[in-house]
């Protein structure tokens, strides 16, 4: 999903969440919702005006729950403190160390085979022809097949396939009855969404004006022209099991479309290695490595033979420190499928502290569709085997801990 925040979750439709999980790609909708929360009517009026303008540049403070707007870009997702941007659609220089990198789904959802097929069920009605659409999607798939063991082959619409691609109106498939599947919202809002493995669905908003080229605003048409290849490549990453990355230059960064990153970074490769294993793509890799190609043809070998050349390591990015649960932890036995909400306490809000959530001592920074939804002072989860564990809420003001709450969740089948 890009750029914007992951949607909140609601009641599940079944006991198996794997086929219901989706990541959506919401455009300027994210900062509209933020402004409306901060000042309902003035913020909404401001956002409706800004929605007709080219994208804004994000400016983040050091509060992970705080957003600000600058007339240079669009609202950002969680950044490290000190990240600033420059005008225009070009790269945004980072002025602070990176925190988290790639993110995997809580259940490590993934495919059990590498030869994936896809079919196109419908085509866009604006601008692009079917042949241009096929070419754009093939380019997006090639971005992933060139650097991973995956191969992608298009099949006829009536044949079974692993991935199913379509361009849909606002109301499509089961979005009206499923709390885990968002309907589209018309032009300039949510652009696309994809489902994690093994569902295989990739949906594009047919109200958008898709093109093969850089995303830009057309003053002549009065609409946004959105790069299909870029958005499709991002959504394919979700369909392979990757969530959003906090690496500023990663294609899977949730602001990647408007920030101009159009190539896969080492961050996506590390994510695939972690999820599927670090594998060579050719049988001759071991022979090439013995001939010294790991040093003389490093770029080629990193792409084709990462295992033989020992390119599977991860750069030691700093991460948010874990926290131990408090000594007194409440235990809750919850029926499977129940939606459970934990509240960090209303009495702490007047203390102006920052709220941090952890699961099993690991920080929670994003909502995970189909699993949990993060709010400012509350956390909602859907009780299942994946979500069992200890949830801790810590309220801090600077370095001082104001309050701590903890719950241990056990699922009753």
Residue for token pair 């790991």: 294
For residues 188 and 55, give the distance between their C-alpha atoms in angstroms, rounded to a whole number. Answer: 11
> Which residues carry out catalysis?
235
For residues 78 and 319, give the distance between their C-alpha atoms in angstroms, rounded to a whole number. Answer: 13
> Given this model, what pLDDT does residue 155 score?
94
330-412 is a CATH 2.60.40.10 domain: yes
> Given this model, what pLDDT does residue 176 score?
63
- SS3 state of residue 128: coil
Which range has the worst mean pLDDT, 240-254, 337-351, 370-384?
337-351
What does the pLDDT look like over 150-162, one tens digit per residue?
A: 889 999 999 999 9
Class level of CATH domain 1-277+312-319? alpha beta
Collect all residues with Cβ–Cβ distance below 8 Å to 313 and sequence separation of at least 6. none
Q: Quick check: do 1-277+312-319 and 330-412 share a fold? A: no
- Higher-confidence position of 299 and 70: 299
Does 113 belong to an annotated binding site?
no
| pLDDT greater than 60 at residue 82 | no
Share of the chain above pLDDT 90, in %: 14
What does the pLDDT look like over 267-326, one tens digit per residue?
A: 777 788 778 877 787 888 989 999 999 989 887 887 788 888 887 754 433 344 445 556
Residue-range domain boundaries for the chain: 1-277+312-319, 330-412
Strands of the sheet containing 378-382, edge to edge, are: 339-343, 378-382, 372-374
Does 63 belong to an annotated binding site?
no
Does 182 belong to an annotated binding site?
no
11-16: long-range contacts (C-beta < 8 A, 24 or more apart)? 11/179, 11/337, 11/339, 11/382, 12/179, 12/180, 12/337, 12/339, 12/370, 12/382, 13/177, 13/178, 13/179, 13/180, 15/336, 15/337, 15/384
What does the pLDDT look like over 114-148, one tens digit per residue?
A: 899 999 999 998 889 999 999 999 999 999 988 78
> Given this model, what pLDDT does residue 236 score?
93
Does 208 belong to an annotated binding site?
yes
Residue 204 token pair: 């594009």
Does 25 belong to an annotated binding site?
no
For residues 133 and 139, give the distance between their C-alpha atoms in angstroms, rounded to a whole number. Answer: 10
The listed range with the strongest mean pLDDT (217-221, 224-228, 273-277, 382-386) is 224-228
Report which of 243, 242, 230 is spatially closest to residue 204, judged by C-alpha positions.
230
Report which of 402, 344, 346 is spatially closest to residue 378, judged by C-alpha positions.
344
Residue 344 phi/psi, 5-degree rounding, is -80, -5
Strands of the sheet containing 354-359, edge to edge, are: 330-335, 400-412, 389-397, 354-359, 362-364
For residues 196 and 65, give the distance between their C-alpha atoms in angstroms, rounded to a whole number. Answer: 26
Asked if 225 contacts 218 with a C-beta cutoff of 8 angstroms, the reply is: yes
| pLDDT greater than 90 at residue 196 | no
Does 206 belong to an annotated binding site?
yes
Does 227 belong to an annotated binding site?
no
Does 203 belong to an annotated binding site?
yes
| pLDDT greater than 70 at residue 209 | yes
| pLDDT greater than 50 at residue 78 | no
Residue 134 token pair: 């096929």
Does 174 belong to an annotated binding site?
yes
Which range has the worst mean pLDDT, 171-185, 188-202, 221-235, 286-300?
171-185
- What is the Cβ-side half-sphere exposure of residue 63, based on CA atoms within 13 angstroms? 12
Residue 49, Cβ density class (10 Å: 0-12 exposed, 13-18 middle, ≥19 buried): exposed
Does 172 belong to an annotated binding site?
yes
| pLDDT greater than 70 at residue 63 | no
- Beta strand 216-218 pairing with 209-211: unpaired
Q: At what angle do helices 29-38 and 40-50 cross, to 10 degrees?
A: 150
pTM confidence score: 0.55
Helix (H), strand (E) at residue 27: none
> Given this model, what pLDDT does residue 366 score?
67
């Amino acid at each position: 999903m890009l750029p914007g925040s992951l949607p909140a979750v609601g009641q599940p439709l079944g006991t198996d969440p794997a086929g219901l999980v989706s990541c959506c790609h919401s455009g300027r909708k994210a900062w509209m919702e933020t402004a409306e929360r901060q000042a309902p009517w003035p913020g909404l009026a401001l956002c409706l005006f800004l929605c007709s303008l080219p994208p804004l540049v994000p400016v983040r403070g050091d509060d992970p729950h705080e957003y600000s707007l600058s007339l240079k870009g669009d609202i950002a997702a969680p950044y490290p403190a000190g990240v600033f941007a420059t005008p225009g659609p070009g790269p945004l220089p980072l002025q602070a160390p990176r925190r988290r990198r790639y993110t995997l789904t809580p259940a490590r959802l993934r495919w059990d085979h590498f030869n994936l097929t896809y079919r196109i069920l419908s085509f866009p009605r604006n601008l692009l022809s079917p042949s241009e659409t096929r070419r754009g999607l093939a380019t997006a798939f090639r971005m992933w097949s060139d650097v991973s063991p995956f191969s992608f082959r298009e099949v006829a619409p009536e044949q079974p396939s692993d991935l199913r691609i379509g361009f849909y109106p606002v109301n499509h498939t089961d979005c009206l009855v499923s709390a885990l599947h968002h309907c589209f919202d018309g032009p300039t809002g949510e652009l696309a969404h994809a489902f994690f493995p093994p569902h295989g669905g990739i949906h594009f908003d047919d109200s958008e004006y898709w093109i093969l080229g850089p995303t830009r605003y057309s003053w002549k048409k009065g609409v946004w022209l959105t790069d299909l290849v870029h958005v499709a490549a991002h959504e394919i990453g979700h369909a392979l099991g990757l969530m959003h990355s906090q690496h500023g230059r990663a294609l899977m960064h949730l602001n990647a479309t408007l920030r101009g990153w159009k190539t896969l970074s080492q961050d996506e490769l590390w994510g695939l290695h972690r999820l599927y294993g670090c594998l060579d793509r050719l049988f001759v890799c071991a022979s090439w490595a013995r001939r010294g190609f790991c040093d003389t043809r490093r770029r080629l070998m990193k792409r084709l033979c990462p295992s033989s050349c020992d390119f599977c390591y991860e750069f030691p990015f700093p991460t948010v420190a874990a926290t131990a649960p408090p000594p007194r932890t409440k235990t809750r036995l919850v029926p499977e499928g129940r939606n459970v909400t934990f509240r960090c306490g209303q009495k702490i809000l007047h203390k102006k502290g920052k709220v941090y959530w952890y699961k099993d001592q690991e920080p929670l920074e994003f909502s995970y569709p189909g699993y949990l939804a993060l709010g400012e002072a509350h956390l909602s989860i859907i009780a299942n085997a994946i979500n069992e564990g200890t949830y801790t809420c810590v309220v801090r003001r600077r370095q001082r801990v104001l309050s701590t709450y903890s719950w241990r969740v056990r699922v009753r089948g």
